[in-house]
Amino acid sequence: MPDDDLVFKALADPTRRFLLDLLFERDGRTLTELETQVEMTRFGVMKHLKLLEEAGLVVARKEGREKRHFLNPVPIRQIHDRWIDKYTERRVTALLDLKNELEGHEP
């Protein structure tokens, strides 16, 4: 399971988020396809992809002479479940309790 710190670090950079958005739109892109979408060198894109792979957000697979990159949304979902969902649930429950109390309904 990827380290939360690696996932947060990977998501902190706007270029890496943009690369993930591109893979979300169409999975299985090559380095050349991704590189044409950003204003940086091939080497720069490779460094970003390497960090995304280390965080578990991208999986690369060789197909013949090409290496294709695929989005792995699982680490993002795990971050959501651990850090976001539990806090929003408490707020929603509190708002529903307040609504019921103001309307004079029993919970």
pLDDT above 90: percentage of residues in the chain: 67
Angle between helices 4-11 and 14-25 (to 10 degrees): 90
- CA nearest neighbour of 73 among 38, 12, 21: 21
- What are the tokens at 15? 């270029």
| Per-residue pLDDT at 9 | 95
| Per-residue pLDDT at 2 | 59
Q: Please state whether the predicted TM-score (pTM) of the whole model is above 0.85.
A: no
